[in-house]
Amino acid sequence: MRRSVRCVWHFPTGNKKRIPFSIKSWRSPSGIAILALSCSLGCGSSSHSVLAQGSPGPDGPSVSRLQKPEDAPAKPAKKGSLLDLVSFEANVPGDCEVAARIRATVNGEPILDDEVKEAIYPFLLATQSLPEPERSNRRKEAFEKALQRLIEREVVIQDAKARLKDRPQLLEKLEEAGAKEFEKNMRQSKERSNIKSDDELKASLRQQGLSVEGLRRQIVRQFIANEYMKNLILPAIERVGHEQIQEYYQKHPEEFQISDGVTWEDIFIDASKFPNREAARQFAQQLVARARGGEDFHQLVLKHDQGDSSYRNGEGYGHRKGEIKPPEAQDILFKLRDGEIGPIVELTNGFHVIRLLKREFAGLKPFDDKTQAAIRNKLQNDAWEREQKRVVDMLRRKAAVEISLATP
């Protein structure tokens, strides 16, 4: 379906000229380039020198060139910059007008306002009830962070396309895998929301200010960027070996200190739910006997607990000394052995039947498989973040990035 797109061209005088122009996809670089050329020819090439140089025009935002490619010679600003095309007004069915504003360009590739807003839409909803100026300040901060993430993603994708230009099949496979990731996300979304059809899903997304097409683009591009980055960073991740893990354990003993603690299960018997207190006591004692006889304690919790431990999957409240509730159970728990059933704990309102699952003693965690796995995971995550930042920073230094200073 073709759209009739009108370019709103801002002049220093404040006047506007509208030039009808039809393109199939204004997102494509070629479409953008043709539109820019059409506007330039129709409006005159000298009308944008103010905006292109970063000075604010009366009707348009100022433009800030954040950076130029590293080691590139200084050049005069080009007239007819993509950021000078402040908005596109498109006639769509239903007599409604859609404005697509370019927020930034990365080596000439546009990032639209709508893309940034899609990324933070849940945050926009969550801050709706905040008072001003807090709401605007927080939204502006979220918008700017999301824009920076999209710029970082764009430089990664552009690098991937440049490196894979002689291997188009690999890029196609990445796009196909990204499309499958999108389909999986859509299936999971429908299952979580109990949505039966694609039309119902589209309607639900529209209510949230989102679209299937927008989500597809975001998910596929994020998938490609992530997979490409993994390939670049994998060697640094694989360098994390047993020697590095052991060295970290020895140099950071403070991270592996543990204090006395217990993990336990609890059944509370409410005396008010029995004919008398003695009947409640006898029932609690029967549960102790059944548990010591080998009956599954967890099942006893699910069937007979009249307190709140069943909401914690049977676990008793608190792990360290001073945290245990009820406090009357603390001394008993720290004297039990793993798996042992304690005597009933008597309170004014009822009785607790308790079982110690695991006791931890103060000291240094052993250098066992669990500890080594935790250290390996931490070192690999650190390596990932460090290398990702290094790669992205390098790519950004080489890229030409322009950001519109207009208020989002």
| Separation between Cα atoms, residue 333 and residue 314, nearest integer Å | 16
3-state secondary structure of 282: helix
CB 314 within 8 A of CB 300: no
3-state secondary structure of 402: strand
Say which DSSP state 305 is in: -
Report residue 265's pLDDT band, with 50, 70 and 90 as the boundaries.
very high
The distance from CA 38 to its chain's CA centroid, rounded to whole angstroms, is 40
At the topology level, CATH places domain 260-361 in: Chitinase A; domain 3 (3.10.50)
What's the CA dihedral at 165, 177, 389, 232 to 10 degrees? -60
Sign of the Cα torsion 37, 42, 48, 49 reads: positive
| Separation between Cα atoms, residue 253 and residue 61, nearest integer Å | 55
Give helix 134-163 / helix 168-193 axis angle, nearest 10°.
Answer: 140
| Separation between Cα atoms, residue 124 and residue 159, nearest integer Å | 31
* Other beta carbons less than 10 A from residue 277's beta carbon: 15
Query: Can you give the pLDDT at residue 99?
Result: 53
**For residue 224, what are the CA distances in angstroms to 157, 227, 228, 237, 374?**
7, 5, 6, 19, 28
pLDDT in tens, 98-113: 456 889 999 999 998 8
Distance in Å from the first CA to the final CA of the chain: 29
If one compares 75 and 234, the residue with the highest pLDDT of the two is 234
Phi and psi for 270 in degrees, rounded to 5? Answer: -85, 115
Report residue 48's pLDDT band, with 50, 70 and 90 as the boundaries.
very low
Q: Taking residues 137-150, what's their average pLDDT?
A: 92
Q: What is the enclosing helix (H) or strand (E) of 190?
A: helix 168-193
Which residues, in sequence order, are bridge partners of residue 97?
A: 91
pLDDT in tens, 322-349: 999 999 999 999 999 999 999 999 999 9
**For residue 131, what are the CA distances in angstroms to 118, 127, 144, 361, 363?**
22, 9, 20, 49, 49
Cis amide linkage into residue 235, ω under 30° from 0: no
Average pLDDT, the chain: 78
If one compares 353 and 129, the residue with the highest pLDDT of the two is 353
If one compares 49 and 317, the residue with the highest pLDDT of the two is 317
Using left for φ > 0, alpha for ψ between -120 and 50, and beta otherwise, residue 313 falls in left
Q: Does 121 score more than 50 pLDDT?
A: yes
pLDDT in tens, 223-240: 999 999 998 899 888 889
Query: Can you give the pLDDT at residue 55?
Result: 33
| Separation between Cα atoms, residue 66 and residue 379, nearest integer Å | 33
Write down the domain spans for the chain.
1-94, 260-361
Query: Can you give the pLDDT at residue 120?
Result: 86
Query: Can you give the pLDDT at residue 71?
Result: 54
Percent residues over pLDDT 90 in the chain: 51
pLDDT in tens, 161-193: 999 889 989 889 999 999 999 899 888 888 888
* Other beta carbons less than 10 A from residue 156's beta carbon: 23
Q: Does 70 score more than 70 pLDDT?
A: no
Q: Taking residues 72-86, what's their average pLDDT?
A: 39
Q: Does 45 score more than 90 pLDDT?
A: no
| Separation between Cα atoms, residue 340 and residue 347, nearest integer Å | 21
| Separation between Cα atoms, residue 122 and residue 116, nearest integer Å | 12
Q: Taking residues 132-142, what's their average pLDDT?
A: 91
Report residue 72's pLDDT band, with 50, 70 and 90 as the boundaries.
low
Query: Can you give the pLDDT at residue 271?
Result: 95
If one compares 93 and 135, the residue with the highest pLDDT of the two is 135
Q: Does 299 score more than 90 pLDDT?
A: yes
3-state secondary structure of 56: coil
Q: Does 29 score more than 70 pLDDT?
A: no
Q: What's the predicted TM-score (pTM) here?
A: 0.56
- Single-letter amino acid, residue 263: T
Report residue 352's pLDDT band, with 50, 70 and 90 as the boundaries.
very high
Query: Can you give the pLDDT at residue 33?
Result: 31
Q: Does 129 score more than 70 pLDDT?
A: yes
The residue written with tokens 């230009």 in the block is: 165
Q: Taking residues 342-365, what's their average pLDDT?
A: 94
Query: Can you give the pLDDT at residue 254?
Result: 92
Query: Can you give the pLDDT at residue 15?
Result: 37
Which residues, in sequence order, are bridge partners of residue 264?
A: 356
Q: Does 85 score more than 80 pLDDT?
A: no
User: C-alpha angle 56/59/60, rounded to 5°?
Assistant: 50
Q: Taking residues 268-278, what's their average pLDDT?
A: 96
Phi and psi for 346 in degrees, rounded to 5? Answer: -95, 130
If one compares 345 and 115, the residue with the highest pLDDT of the two is 345
